[in-house]
Structure 1
Amino acid sequence: MNLEKYTSEFKNNLKLATPVMIGSLGHLLVGLIDDIMVGRLGPVELAATSLGNSIVFIALSIGIGFSFAITPLLAESDSEGDENKGRLIFQHGLLLTTIMGVVMFVFLFFLKPILYHLNQPEEVVVLAIPYYEIIAFSMIPLMIFQGFKQFTDGLSQTKYAMYATIVANIINVVLNFALIYGLWIFPRLELVGAAIGTLISRVAMVFFIYIVLANKEKFKPYLIRLKFNEIKKEVLKKIVNLGFPTALQMLFEVGLFAASVLLAGTYGAFSQAANQIALKLASTTFMIAVGIGVAATVRVGNQKGLKNYVELRRIAFSNFILVFFMMSMFSVGFLLLKDILPLAFTDNLEVIQIASSLLIVAALFQLSDGIQAVVLGGLRGLQDVNIPSLLTFMAYWVIGFPVCYYLGTILKMESLGIWIGLLTALTSSAVMLFFRFNYLTNKLIHKNNGTT
């Protein structure tokens, strides 16, 4: 294999991927800062935000997964040079993500009573409710932003969403300091203050990206508002047909990791704390794979629009090799620093010991996790989502979760058993999705050669 024909694409891949990585890492960083600031109020307050966010995060993953449908469709229309087609996709997509945000808010609002039935301390639930209500409402501006973000990603302009995310994060941190603790003229609102800070920052994010795009000539044709008589059933259907299976893919993966948290909690506080530390670290490195996955979606979508399937396959494989190299470095880092990294979170020796053992497994699944994320991005670029949804369900819930439960509970390996199950799930997903991508691209090349 001539490796240079793939590595020569690394620069182009990273140009698209880096802003997405920075934006995603920015969200994680602010989440960490939120935890630290709320944590200073006390353990009950920290538990309340964790409880509220746990349910919102599942809904959020579904919404974001749905919005991913916009990117490959825009990438395809962009490579075809069809601005009107791109405008219709964007405007219909924005309409759907806005509706999705409202539906998510209503769903989360009516789901609120479930907080009383999760075996949580009463004082935690009482604090969580007002926080949860405001965070649920913030899903509306967040999903509107997702519509704009996936639009700009599809046009290979990933930097604008990054700028909006950075500005929103700064606003969020400043407002949190002011509203949680009551600095200067601001009242001390504690958890409610943290929620209000998040809501305002998400509204600001929407205004920022709209103002930036409205002042760029490239985007003006796309921002012409959709008239009622321009709403086309077939465009809505195309986005929904791509978005719904993608949302399921996100739900299957996020659901497994949420189940792992609940399962670890049954083994005791130390096991759950170690599980959270390892998950936080693994989530951070996963953001790198997310960025490369977006690059794969956009570039594969471009080549699909050009019907250049040989180049499509070469570019896709360049992204697969890039993520393999980068996640390999994280694997080595986790192995070398497995006893040091947990010290950033706790000084409890038992928790550190458990977390250290989990990071060994996390080092192994860095490769699987990265590859499955980027191959999924490539498949989205091909607009192939139904079979991948079935494959991810099989990997996470038919294979992965039973292994987590059997090793963790039946064989009493506890958190280590859960993480071996996660490794099994991610590896199964990576292998099956790769074979799917390989099969489809070979089929497209042979079919195209037969018609030329």
Structure 2
Amino acid sequence: MEQTFTIKEKMKQLGIIFVPILVTQLAMFAMSFFDILMTGNYKSDHLAGVAVGSSYWIPISTGISGILLSITPIVAQLIGAQKKKDVSSSVLQGIYVAITLAILIMVIGALTLPTILNRMNLEENVRHVAQYYLISISIGTIPLFIYTVLRSFIDALGKTRTSMFITLLSLPINVILNYLLIYGKLGFPELGGIGSGIASAITYWLILVIAIYIIHKKRPFIHFGIFNSFPRASIKKWKEIILLGLPIGLSIFIETSIFSSVTLFMSKFGTTVIAAHQAALNFTSFIYMIPLSISMALTILVGFEVGAKRYKDAKSYSYIGVGSGITISLVTGILLIILRPQISHMYSNDLAVIELTMKFLLFGAFFQLSDAILAPIQGTLRGYKDVNVTFIMAIISFWIIGLPIGYILANNTSMGPYGFWLGLIIGLAIGAITLAFRLLIVQKRFSLQESEQS
């Protein structure tokens, strides 16, 4: 990364960082996207099973990965402050934390999963698919978490094209494995939704192997000597990673688990509603990769500028990022409304599922504007290493406001399952507004520091 001086240079720098991140996020999400899409075209009950399984896997995996994303601002600020010698130890300690967290999650899952699923009001085959989908995909937990650390290191250096390259290499393999294992082609067993979990786990291992090779053999990563030595675990470094990462991870967990909780609440409305809800949620989450990628780019750029004590530049990046997110989101929201029929037909051949999916997508279109404001602000605050208020506001806006309103609307009005979506839209809007005020406060504090230094 380089220092920028004009708005035009900053927009160019943001684009250089953002575009590869977006391609990477879309490719990573495409694994889940194709899991849902290809399973939906197999059988509706398998789609429902994968939906229930995903409702547990996604918030847990993204939440824990969120803790490990603390490596990005840590490394970005070290690079900005010209402390490159400290980068290797931070990355390796992050890997140690990743392995520890992965093992912990697998043990807890093994002890609690059967009980949780047995208490849900699910058809027997849906429960079976959900359980073995989760068991299958958990095989990829360790490589997924380690790769999150390595990707955070790569991205913090501004080499987001490398992450893009790694992910794009693995995506076709994931789709091919899905095809073979879901439908039982070329002599492979026909496993349905369970096969998609196995395919994803294999893909996570592949991504890790590729990332290790590139970091160990290619420039500029080789100059950091990440794998040249393996120091002992450092309690001090673990504390830094976890204290910074825990609010990030919990914020992501809260945001993703709210959607998963809605999926579980919707089990009372039947398999068809669950399938349609999951299809609509899957596609709107796919679009969410745009503001999320802007958010991740802002964490890198703002962290780099803050580390170099160029606070005015950090502020400029935040405004450019939020403005870009809103503009893009308006376009995607309009397209989503127009193309609802075509999108719905992608996910199922069942006419009842298609009709319900179209209605859910109409609500999903209104997610876009709040997401476009909320995500970039979160990324900017992480660049400043300001993460605790984001976590608190996530709890308030989603769990204290959004979900209760959704539950009331779904169970006490004629809106039915759509009430949950309206409640989430309200929660997103409140979160966006409150974090906008928080960002202004943080930027004012750093501006005062800059004035005192000059």
What TM-score, normalized to structure 1?
Answer: 0.91
Where do 1:198-277 residues align within 5 Å?
198-220=200-222, 221-229=224-232, 231-269=233-271, 271-277=273-279
Aligned equivalents of 1:40 and 1:351: distance in 2?
12
Residues 293, 375 of structure 1: 8 Å contact kept: yes
Where do 1:21-420 residues align within 5 Å?
21-39=22-40, 41-113=42-114, 114-184=116-186, 186=188, 188=190, 193-220=195-222, 221-229=224-232, 231-269=233-271, 271-346=273-348, 354-420=356-422
Partner amino acid, structure 2, of 1:70: I
Aligned equivalents of 2:244 and 2:96: distance in 1?
15
How far is the alpha carbon of 1:273 from its aligned partner? 4.2
Partner of 1:16: 17
How far is the alpha carbon of 1:353 from its aligned partner? 5.3
Q: 1:159 to 1:10 in 2, by over 3 A?
A: same
Q: 1:421 to 1:36 in 2, by over 3 A?
A: closer
Larger deviation, residues 44-53 vs 368-377:
44-53
Structure 2: which 5+ runs fail to align? none
Aligned equivalents of 1:32 and 1:324: distance in 2?
24
How far is the alpha carbon of 1:94 from its aligned partner? 1.5
Larger deviation, residues 75-84 vs 348-357:
348-357
How far is the alpha carbon of 1:11 from its aligned partner? 2.4
Q: 1:181 to 1:261 in 2, by over 3 A?
A: closer
Aligned equivalents of 1:38 and 1:350: distance in 2?
17
How far is the alpha carbon of 1:376 from its aligned partner? 0.4
The 3-state SS of whatever aligns with 1:262 is: helix
Q: 1:183 to 1:360 in 2, by over 3 A?
A: closer
Residues 264, 414 of structure 1: 8 Å contact kept: no
**Count of aligned pairs:** 448
Q: 1:183 to 1:352 in 2, by over 3 A?
A: closer
Structure 1: which 5+ runs fail to align? none
The 3-state SS of whatever aligns with 2:205 is: helix
Identity of aligned residues (%): 26
Residues 91, 226 of structure 1: 8 Å contact kept: no
Q: 1:351 to 1:433 in 2, by over 3 A?
A: same
Larger deviation, residues 388-397 vs 214-223:
214-223
RMSD between aligned alpha carbons?
A: 2.5
Q: 1:76 to 1:424 in 2, by over 3 A?
A: same
Aligned equivalents of 2:406 and 2:251: distance in 1?
19
Residues 293, 374 of structure 1: 8 Å contact kept: yes
Partner amino acid, structure 2, of 1:104: I
Aligned equivalents of 2:366 and 2:193: distance in 1?
37
How far is the alpha carbon of 1:89 from its aligned partner? 1.4
Q: 1:310 to 1:106 in 2, by over 3 A?
A: same
Residues 14, 292 of structure 1: 8 Å contact kept: no
The 3-state SS of whatever aligns with 1:383 is: coil
Larger deviation, residues 439-448 vs 348-357:
348-357
Aligned equivalents of 1:183 and 1:255: distance in 2?
34
What TM-score, normalized to structure 2?
Answer: 0.91
Superposed CA deviations along residues 69-127 of structure 1, whole A, max 9, x for unmatched, are 11011110111221111112111112111221221222222222222221222233334
